[in-house]
Amino acid sequence: MPTVRLREMAEYPEMAQKMLALSKEWFQYDFHQPPAMSRVMAWDPAFGGPHGRAMKRAAMPGEFSRAEKEMVAALVSGVNACAY
Amino acid sequence: MQEDALWYEAAFVVGMTNALNVVADALAPQPGITLVAPVEASHADPKTAALFAEIRTFYASEEVPLPFRLMAHDAAYLAELWQAVQRAFSEQHLTRRVKEALAFAVSVTSRSAFGTAFHLAEMRRLGVSEGGVMEVLGVTQMFSSYTKIADTLQLEPDMHHIAPVDWSPAPGGRSSAP
């Protein structure tokens, strides 16, 4: 169980809600609520903003495809034994 | 990346990467300390020498990578290990270039000095540029952050349902799709 209460999208200020709306676009999936990690990162847009942009820059298609990079991410998560 | 075959292959790459890394990192000879002496090609028996030749060909290298030389005191074991490694890293559903990138990310994440250097060299040998290396490092770094944030807050998985299920059978088997 999370150690914090994850706020629903409506509980975030407008600017953060815009950030959260981007997760739908990024994952190309219509979430009922944005993923937990997106809501965590939107808690502090001054942190989550640049962190998310760095992630998107790293994950965008380049020499490796977006799908290949998602696989790298999944394996890194697995090695870190992160269930999320 | 919807086919399970891709993920089975990736998992085998992770497994063999870790298998090679643990031995190489733990037993790499240090100045004045050699816990297990790597078998030198010049002293290898014929069976081991033949395996070394296959390994050198696979990696297009004059040198046999350290973990294979460390495990070469038992040629029969080395033969099976090498077959598994070769199978895991051979081009199937995933390209060898992608497999080396995955192995590099895994090695960086598990802080393997041997694996990081070895798979970085393999990526470069297979044509990955510095830009490509930075792409893999960036994803590795960012997800090393996400995972720790998720663990610290004990977030529960909430995205597994967005991936479709692959109902294809195991290779050579029959489907039991509902």
Residue A4 falls inside a structural domain: no
pTM attached to this predicted model: 0.92
Tell me, yes or no, whether A32 lies in a domain: yes
B174 part of a folded domain: no
Judged against a pLDDT cut of 80, whether residue B162 lies above it is answered with: no
Summarised one tens digit per residue, pLDDT across range B69-117 is 999 999 999 999 999 999 999 999 999 999 999 999 999 999 999 999 9
Choose from B155, B156, B161, B162 for mutation: most chain A CBs within 10 A. B155
Asked whether residue A38 is assigned to any structural domain, the reply reads yes
The CATH number assigned to the domain holding B83 equals 1.20.1290.10
In chain B, count of helices (H) and strands (E)?
7, 0
The answer, yes or no, to whether residue B161 has pLDDT greater than 90, is no
Dig out the tokens for B94 from the structure: 């995933």
**Could you give the number of structural domains in chain B?**
1
Q: Quick check: B38 and B69 in contact, CB under 8 A? A: yes
Nearest CA in chain B to A83: B157
With a cut of 0.85, is the ipTM above it?
Answer: yes
Structural domain total, chain A = 1
A50 inside domain? yes
CB pairs under 8 A between A and B: 128
In a domain, A73, yes or no: yes
- Residue A2 domain-assigned (yes or no): no
Q: Is residue A3 part of a domain?
A: no
A71 at interface of B, judged by CB pairs closer than 8 A = yes
Q: What is the DSSP letter of A3?
A: S
Note whether residue B167 is domain-resident. Answer: no
Q: Which residue range(s) make up the domain with B86?
A: 4-29+36-162
CA dihedral B22, B92, B99, B139 (to 10 degrees): -130
Which domain range does residue A33 map to? 9-79
Q: Is residue A84 part of a domain?
A: no
Q: Is there a domain that residue B168 lies in?
A: no
